[in-house]
Amino acid sequence: MRNRFAPTRRAFLSLTAAAAGAALLPARIFAQSISVSRQLVDALLIDLYALINSGSSVDRLYADFEALLNRYADMPIIAQTVMRVEWRRASAAQRSAFITAFRAYISRKYGSRFRELIGGTFEITDTRQIRNFVEVTTTANLRNEAPFEVIWLVSNGSGEHKFFNLIIEGINLATTEAEEVGALLDRNGGNIDAMIADLSAAS
């Protein structure tokens, strides 16, 4: 006599298929995230190169670079990372003022160096999933220089895929700028508003 609780052959097969599907699901989501992250960096590089080779005036260049950062970078999370633990005691107004000042500071600081990149190329050489984000590795080829590595870390933690850190030959943007912001805070005796004012004045 057949046990009524024993799974039929059909039920067993469909259950196995469902289990296999569930096991494959995270891999599929990761694969999708990797390709979206890659597309993001691809699009970013195209826009960045258009900007570098545009020959725009300095003010125009900085403004365009800020717009580019807004589009491709998760500036609020980067700002939060570089403020480290101080972020916790900052008021909502201070946080938003800091994000604005920090974005403009980054545009000036890095935008002023764009002429060194004219005529160079970047290509994506590797992508991999790390925990909840994707590492997109690019190789930069500049004139008269050995190729070097630039890594973009992309996450959809904000709801959209955006990059949240940049590592050039091991030098981490978030860590370096956190050091700078920390020094500005120290100089101002921990006063966040004074630090933001200094950051706005910094080149």
Partner 1 sequence: MFEFNVAVDRTIVRPVSVGAGTILPEPVRQGIGNFASNLDQPRYVLNNLLQLRFEEALQNTWRFVVNSTVGLGGVLDPASGIGLYEADTDFGETLHVWGAPEGAYVVLPVLGPSTSRDTVGFVVDRAMNPVRFFIGTPESYYLNTVNIGDAVNTRYRFGDTIDELYYESADGYAAARILYLSNRRFELRGEAQDDYFDPYTDFYEDPNAQ
Determine if 102 is a binding residue for partner 1 (CB under 8 A).
no
Q: Tokens standing for 180?
A: 């700078």
Buried b (16+ CB within 10 A) or exposed e, 155-191: bbeeeebbbbbbbeeeeebbeebbeebeebbeeeeee
With binding defined as CB under 8 A, does residue 112 bind partner 1?
A: yes
Q: How many residues bind partner 1 (CB under 8 A)?
A: 46
CB-CB contact of 115 with 55 (8 Å): no
* Binding of partner 1 by 189 (CB under 8 A): no
Contact flag: residue 133 with partner 1 (CB under 8 A): yes
User: Closest separation between CB of residue 130 and partner 1, Å?
Assistant: 5
What are the Cα distances from residue 131, in Å, to 52, 79, 103, 137?
Answer: 33, 22, 27, 16
Applying CB under 8 A, among 30, 34, 36, 84 the residue interacting with partner 1 is 84
Decide: helix, strand or coil at residue 109.
helix
Q: Which of residues 141-160 bind partner 1 (CB under 8 A)?
A: 144, 146-147, 153, 155, 157-158
202 interacts with partner 1 by CB under 8 A? yes
CB 40 within 8 A of CB 72: yes
Smallest separation, CB 160 to partner 1 (Å): 12
Nearer to partner 1, 28 or 187 (CB): 187
Name which of 54 and 132 has its Cβ closer to partner 1: 132
Q: Per rule CB under 8 A, is residue 171 in the interface with partner 1? A: yes
Contact between residue 75 and residue 69 where contact means Cβ atoms under 8 Å apart? yes
Q: Which residues are CB-neighbours of 37 under 8 A, at least 6 positions away?
A: 127, 134, 136, 154, 161
Tally helices (H) and strands (E) across the chain: 6, 5
Is 178 an interacting residue with respect to partner 1 (CB under 8 A)?
A: yes
Q: Which residues contact partner 1 by CB under 8 A? A: 77-78, 80-81, 84-85, 87-88, 109, 112-113, 116, 128, 130-133, 135, 137, 144, 146-147, 153, 155, 157-158, 164-165, 169-172, 174-176, 178-180, 182-184, 186-187, 198, 202-203
